[in-house]
Amino acid sequence: MESPTRSGSMLKRDNLTFGFPVFLLSESIIFVSFFATYALLRWKNSNWFPAGVSGLDIHGAAISTLILVCSSIVIYFAERSLDRHKLVRFRRLWLLTAALGVIFLIRQAIEWHNMPFGLDAGLAGATFYLLTGFHGLHIFTGVVLLLYMYFRSLTPGNYNLGHRGVSSVSLFWHFVDVIWIVLFVLLYVW
Amino acid sequence: MTNISVESTDDPPKLNPMSWKRYFSFSTDHKVIGVQYLVTAFLFFLIGGLFAMIVRAELLTPQLDVVDRSLYNGLFTMHGTVMIFLWIFPANVGLANYLVPLMIGARETAFPVLNAIAFWLIPVIGVLLLFSFFLPSGTAQAGWWSYPPVSIQNPSGHMINGEFIWLLAITISGISSIMGAVNLVTTIFQMRAPGMSFFRMPVYVWTTLSAQLLQLFCLPALTGAAVMLLFDLTFGTDFFSPFKQGDPVIYQHLFWFYSHPAVYVMALPAFGVFSEVIPAFARKPLFGYKTVAVSSLLIAGISMLVWVHHMFASATPNWMRVLFMVTSMLVSVPTGIKVFAWTATVWRGKLHFQTPMLFALGGVAMFLFAGITGVMLASLPFDIHVNNTYFVVGHFHYVVFNTVTMAIYAGIYYWFPKITGRMYSEGWGKLHFWLTFIGANLNFFPMHPIGLQGMVRRISSYDPQYTGWNVVASLGAFLLGMSTLPFIANVVSSWLRGRKASNNPWNATGLEWTTTSPPAIENFEEIPTVTSEPYGYGESHRLAVDPLSHLS
Amino acid sequence: MRTFNIVLLSIWVGVIIFASHTIGQQAYDWLPIAAAAEAEPVGHLFSFLVTLGTIVFLGVMGVLVYSVLFYRARDTSDAPAIRGNLKLEITWTVIPILLVTWIAIYSYNIYQRMNTLGALPLAHLHFVEAPAYAEVGNNNMQRAEQIEVIAKQWSWSFHYPSRNITSTELHLPVNQPVRLMLQSEDVVHGFYVPNFRIKQDIIPNQTIEFKFTPSRIGQYQLHDSQFSGTYFALMEASVYVDAPERYSQWLAETATRPPVPAANPAKSEHIQPPAMPLRSNWHTVPPAQPPLINK
Ligand code: HEM
Ligand SMILES: [Cu+2]
């Protein structure tokens, strides 16, 4: 069927389903440019870390990775609950996702706090703070969007016209998750 | 498929929707936004032109005698930045905003609010950049490439310095462009009228799509580079500082990974304008419509793989130099297809020479020249001689001015009746064309010989052997400055008092000509259904034929 | 009628080819006089590019101008609806592909002959090792004069390690390969002598090896070709290509002179800024200490 109207709210949501992934693809190029710069610089410099530092806290980061991957699974189930009109279950899982995001951010803050070097400690510092910071900003945005969507879900009849907003936020969450995995491999595992 | 009545927007409009005041409001109507973009961009064009005029005044004589060196460097940096980010980009986006929904039979764009925000960021960027003239550090002075380390030397030691503002402006401009691009691309994919398949879209829509896709997938690299450079400048990191662990050449790669495609972001819409105007005034369908349409995407694709040709003389290994020479050569093939198609369109046509056609034909002729010097530049050993000389400056001004700016003018004249509902004055238009055409060639042709002779670009004083051609170029520049006067006079007086335009004064094909001039708020009374390829000149099933045509 | 057209067309093609050839020959004179072995092939390449370019330019412009002159509309009716011609479209896709392939191969050959080595040092970055081709005049390598070129804001200096002398003039022996070790102490600069028709950016904190053979005695100008800040335009130096005896003589004489700080236009201008109608008073990077030279 052709979309029923050529204007009005219905169609705008259609556009969101198309436009938002397009935006995310574009956004990912910023990360690509950071990752590429990081990789080239790291490849070029054998003495990467400042004196006295042997590497990053890979165990902590692994736990954070696990948390994010879990949250991606949780949000998937949240969305599925909404598909099946189980609104309460949706809200719970949705909030759980946000909570996992917050935990991730707190862990990130602690890691920053305990970091043996700062932003100006050579490239190890610069790339570390830039990449985790920029990614953290995305997680933060994600949490805000999650909470926003949560409060919207309290409006009765909010999903009568479908839930493209929820799907977009969920897509965003998967996106920052994938970015984190790349970041984890490049920054911590390498 | 018929249209379904449009629900009135959520909040009742406060002012008469057709009042002139709408142009100063946060409107979400794509037509208003389009005009806002065009007018704002033109104001910045005048400012950027003024900078150029001072630069050319300095270059009238070999010695330094008008501005001091810092100011000279600031002026050419601001000139380039303003012209690219505040004139050509926004003017193209403005035209696209106005035209694309009309051309594909939509009532609005996909994300009207996003679109409006994208526009309102433009004046913000402009104000930021102009404000930096009043900083004690002055404006950014490292050219529009802003290569480190020279761009981050920061002699003033202030945190708020010209380079900082510049980087901020570039980042905001990137955000604005991405918003605009998401909106336009989604509109083109999602909102076409029934029957408007891809191969029924006018070429202008194809070129806009290709250009905006380039914005989406290349521009973030520049934003990333700008962020890192900002960190280096402000927070003392050393991503690009050669004396620490950093590498300035990485910045060059990121910069050109975007900024080569950026030249096609500017050029593709110009190709689109030529593809609309030339058939209308040759009364013939665009020759080889499908290949012209598809070549837009090919250009976009290949142009993502050629960026190193700006770095042939940089610390670039040989294999990379040779590889990128080959890809750069290839980009001229789809570009050539377009030029040949326009030429074949006028061949055996019935040509009318109204102002839009003059600008279009003049633009095509000069683009031919620019394309040829482009292929020369792609030839590695020759480029090593002329890289960073005025030859390159000549080449790209033949594109960005003599082609793209001419195309924007052509577009403004061509769609002026549609946008304003009034005809412009043909006589003033022709005068404008001839002043521009002559001025542009006087200004930019001499750059080729002095470049070949080895005059380096961006120098504020030069060897007396180059004087002759520089004087010609400066005179051309002043002529170009004058050439904007008849344009301004024409547009202003015609908009206020011009003859009323009919719906389709050029007797042209294309959905935009089937609606009223100017179009009503939601463009079409009834969403049209499209049944054939565009450019049905000389065919019986023409859309919209108007007896009151202004062709003569 | 048809044969008449064909004859006309052939004449036109003949004219284009003749004109392009003539202009292509002319093109040699548009470049500065060649003063290095590497400059010679660039001249041929340029002439070739101009010839081809003129053919394309005149060919397409011919069609455009002809149309403008002879296809003016007499009424408002439409022209015949010719939508395209597949054969023609394929032709104007294939011919340009062939042309640019030809240009690319020709350029590649010439580049190989020039072999200025400029790009080599990226090997530092562990990039794939560069030139796979035979080095021209490999046997000359030992004789190549090695000179260190030091660029900084805004001066050039040239250090001759064999004699341990430094100068702000670059003296080169004619017809002998020279090896320049390009270095920058602050920002990116560019080494460019128009008469040699070669240039190379100088990346700070890297030594870039640059090789060529000056071939014509005379005085030339070295320019900084990569924008380097406020006094960029003043960053020039004289290049002398000398006969071998003069060259040795210069080396010997210079070696006897004690090192003194060089005169530096950027520095003088910085200390005493000329009065200008439009003055900004913006902060600027102070010029680096002028080099110590044997003078
Ligand atoms: C026929 C296809 C073209 C080819 C092969 C080509 C090739 C080149 C090359 C190799 C350079 C770098 C020269 C150097 O810095 O040494 C260059 C510069 C440039 N080209 Fe083109 N070009 C073509 C068409 C265009 C188009 C369509 C535009 C559109 C606006 C354009 C705009 C520019 C600009 C702005 C620069 C210089 C940027 C700067 O250095 O500031 N070119 N071109
Ligand atoms: Cu390019």
Domain ranges for chain A, please list them. 56-189
Residue C198 bridge partners (DSSP): C193
Report d(CA B166, CA B163) in Å as an integer.
5
Phi, psi angle pair for C147, to nearest 5°: -135, 135
Residues of chain A positioned with their CB less than 8 A from the CB of C126: 43-44
Residues of chain B positioned with their CB less than 8 A from the CB of A8: 6-7
Low-confidence ranges of chain A (pLDDT < 50): 1-13
Q: What does the pLDDT average to over B350-359? A: 96
Report d(CA B539, CA B531) in Å as an integer.
13
Residues in A whose CB is inside 8 Å of some CB of B read 2, 4-8, 11-12, 14-15, 18-19, 22-23, 25-34, 36-37, 40-41, 44-45, 47, 119-120, 122-123, 125-127, 130, 134
Q: What is the structure's pLDDT at A118?
A: 87
Q: Which residue CA neighbors atom 2 of ligand 1 most closely? A: B332
Q: Which residue CA neighbors atom 21 of ligand 1 most closely? A: B374
Task: Kindly report the nearest CA distance between residue A43 and chain B, in angstroms.
Answer: 11
Q: What is the structure's pLDDT at A51?
A: 84
Residue B505 CA, ligand 2 centroid: distance in Å: 38
What is the signed CA dihedral for B534, B535, B541, B546, rounded to 10 degrees?
120
Going C264 to C266 to C271 to C273, the CA torsion angle's sign is: positive
Q: What is the structure's pLDDT at B232?
A: 95
- Name the residue ranges covered by the structural domains of chain C: 2-68+88-117, 122-270+287-294
Q: Nearest chain A Cα to B9, which residue?
A: A8
Is the minimum distance from the CB of B146 to ligand 1 under 6 angstroms? no
- Report whether the peptide linkage leading into residue B166 is cis, meaning its omega lies within 30 degrees of zero: no
Residues of chain C positioned with their CB less than 8 A from the CB of B333: 93, 96-97, 100
pLDDT greater than 80 at residue B6: no
Do B337 and C81 lie within an 8 Å CB cutoff? no
Token pair of A164 as six digits:
């493209």
- Show which subunits contact A, needing at least 3 CB pairs below 8 angstroms: B, C
pLDDT greater than 70 at residue B277: yes
- Testing ligand 1's pocket by substitution, the residue of B312, B395, B452 carrying the most ligand atoms inside 8 A of its CB is B395
- Testing ligand 1's pocket by substitution, the residue of B326, B396, B447 carrying the most ligand atoms inside 8 A of its CB is B396
Q: Which of B149, B380, B458 lies at the smallest CB-CB distance from C232?
A: B458
pLDDT greater than 60 at residue C121: no
Do C233 and B461 lie within an 8 Å CB cutoff? yes
Q: Check: CB of residue B109 under 8 Å from CB of residue B183.
A: yes
Portion 66-85 of C in contact with B at CB < 8 A: 67-68, 71-85
Report d(CA B267, CA B208) in Å as an integer.
10
Other Cβ atoms less than 10 A from the Cβ of C62: the count is 15
Q: Which residue CA neighbors atom 35 of ligand 1 most closely? A: B396
Return mean pLDDT, chain C: 88
Residues of chain C positioned with their CB less than 8 A from the CB of A44: 124-126
Task: Kindly report the nearest CA distance between residue C142 and chain A, in angstroms.
Answer: 31
May I ask the CATH class of domain A56-189? mainly alpha
Other Cβ atoms less than 10 A from the Cβ of B500: the count is 12
Taking only the tens place, the pLDDT of each residue in B459-491 is 999 999 999 999 999 999 999 999 999 999 999
Q: What is the structure's pLDDT at A148?
A: 93
> In sequence order, what E strands does C100-207 have?
145-152, 155-160, 165-167, 170-173, 178-184, 189-193, 198-202
Higher pLDDT, residue B151 or B549: B151
Q: What is the structure's pLDDT at B1?
A: 32
Q: What is the structure's pLDDT at C130?
A: 37
Q: Which residue CA neighbors atom 3 of ligand 1 most closely? A: B374
Q: What is the structure's pLDDT at C136?
A: 37
Q: What is the structure's pLDDT at A169?
A: 94
Taking only the tens place, the pLDDT of each residue in C22-74 is 999 999 999 999 999 999 999 999 999 999 999 999 999 999 999 999 999 88
Q: What is the structure's pLDDT at C117?
A: 60
Phi, psi angle pair for B238, to nearest 5°: -135, 55
Q: What does the pLDDT average to over B516-528? A: 89
Is the minimum distance from the CB of B228 to ligand 1 under 6 angstroms? no
Is the minimum distance from the CB of B215 to ligand 1 under 6 angstroms? no
Q: Which of B1, B186, B217 lies at the smallest CB-CB distance from A15?
A: B186
Long-range CB contacts (within 8 A, 24+) of C125-133: C125/A40, C125/A43, C125/A44, C125/B247, C126/A43, C126/A44, C127/B317, C127/B320, C128/B317, C128/B319, C130/B317, C130/B318, C130/B319, C131/B318
Q: What does the pLDDT average to over B1-21? A: 51
Confidence at C143, pLDDT banded by 50, 70, 90: low
Confidence at B9, pLDDT banded by 50, 70, 90: very low
- Give the architecture (CATH level 2) of C122-270+287-294: Sandwich (2.60)
Residues of chain B positioned with their CB less than 8 A from the CB of A28: 220
Ligand number, closest to the Cα atom of B144 = 1
Do B223 and A30 lie within an 8 Å CB cutoff? yes
Amino acid at B310: H
| Helix (H) / strand (E) containing C239 | strand C236-242
pLDDT greater than 60 at residue B234: yes
Confidence at B400, pLDDT banded by 50, 70, 90: very high
Taking only the tens place, the pLDDT of each residue in C217-231 is 999 999 999 999 999
Q: What is the structure's pLDDT at B22?
A: 82
A2, A10, A30, A175, best to mutate vs chain B, most B CBs in 10 Å: A30
Token pair of B413 as six digits:
């004249």
| Domains observed in chain B | 27-514 (1.20.210.10)
Q: Nearest chain C Cα to A46, which residue?
A: C125
Q: What does the pLDDT average to over B397-416? A: 97
Query: Of ligand 1's atoms, which has the minimum distance to the CA of residue B144?
Result: 41
Higher pLDDT, residue B280 or B550: B280
Do A32 and B225 lie within an 8 Å CB cutoff? no
Long-range CB contacts (within 8 A, 24+) of B250-254: B250/A37, B250/A40, B250/A41, B251/B147, B251/B148, B251/B225, B252/B145, B252/B147, B252/B310, B252/B311, B252/B314, B253/B307, B253/B308, B253/B311, B254/A33, B254/A36, B254/A37, B254/B221, B254/B222, B254/B224, B254/B225
Burial class (CB in 10 A: 0-12, 13-18, 19+), B464: exposed
Is the minimum distance from the CB of B331 to ligand 1 under 6 angstroms? yes
Q: Give the pairing type, strands C170-173 and C236-242.
A: parallel
- Which residues are within 5 Å of ligand 2 (an ion), measured at CB? B 260
Task: Please report, rounded to a whole number, the percentage of residues in chain B having pLDDT higher than 70.
Answer: 94
Report d(CA A180, CA B41) in Å as an integer.
39
Residues of chain C positioned with their CB less than 8 A from the CB of B287: 82-85
Task: Kindly report the nearest CA distance between residue B314 and chain C, in angstroms.
Answer: 5
Q: How many CA atoms lie within 13 A of B37 on its CB side?
A: 30
> In sequence order, what E strands does B399-528 have?
none
In this predicted structure, which of B14-18, B398-402, C101-105, C184-188 has the lowest mean pLDDT? B14-18
pLDDT greater than 90 at residue B328: yes
Q: What does the pLDDT average to over C187-202? A: 95
